[in-house]
Structure 1
Amino acid sequence: MGKYISENIEKEILSINWFSQLGKPINIDNISIETNLNKVNEKINSPEWENITLEESNNINSYFLQKNLFSKQDEWDLIAEEGRDFIKNKVIPIIPEINGLTREIIINDISWNLIHFIIEDYYKRKKIIRTSFFSELFELYRLGRLPCGWDGDFPNGKLIIA
């Protein structure tokens, strides 16, 4: 356990059964399933998906500016560094390769989302923020899914998962 990542979060991340439910039906509102792995590769690597996750990261960051919480924001880089080390050393080695998915692209996307989930979780535990975008993506990873895109004009529309 690190200074910023709770032991529970580490355990939850390490217990994920990665990709175990790809393409299987799911009964969650505002979710669309993509079963074509070529399209999953395209969507997860698209500028649209990257812009959505970047926008959500910026939303967390802008909250600090709006509330004049600059001292709390200073921890961001430290949390991210600890998250990157944890993901690189413990998470990436257990993520399986899936035929039809480009591993580098998948690893980059998962890493970005998990780092922001860790940041989001840290600030939620400190009762500083209430955002949940990356927590929602994390829940889908826990369900054996792969969030990979958005159908519609964000935030309206549906999250696409494999």
Structure 2
Amino acid sequence: MTRLERLTAADTRIFFWISGYRHRPLIGLTSRFCSRAGDGFLYAILGVLLALHEEALGWLFLQTGLLAYALELPAYLLLKNTIQRDRPCDRHQDFQALIRPSDRFSFPSGHAAAAFVFATLISVVYPDWTWLALGFAWAVGCSRVLLGVHYPSDILAGALLGSLMALLALWGQGLI
């Protein structure tokens, strides 16, 4: 067995272990809520509210966020359409996702990437909110595994991608 095959097998085992918890009523409901909250509208609303509430820092946050998402989205699409990893619900015939995925491929997770863009920006611009933002980002990522549309490594890759694109945007704005 090659290293990649062992990694894929471990990822699949962890996926099925986590998926065992998804049928608990509170977990399923919470996962759906977290996943929907990570669809993107919340980031836009919070960015605009911060820009309106805090003239200087809020506008800088919004501008940096727009730059970060402008970097993250093409990188995410390039990776997803180049790697073309099947989603767990498509690869395993006996497994049903709890939601309908927005596209065909799973690696990296776009929800995790977007959540970690936002969390990384918050942690630098508003450091007092770091733990809440990172907790939310991980909740969004974990919800995608619990819902059956991503493997754990998809979430880790999305987290890395989102964090790197946010750091690049922060660096471009002179904030780090």
Q: Shorter-normalised TM-score: what interval? A: 0.3 to 0.5
In our comparison, the structure showing a higher alpha carbon Rg is 2
Q: Which has the higher contact order (CA 8 A, sep 6+)?
A: 1
TM-score (normalised: structure 1): 0.47
Q: Which has the higher strand share?
A: 1
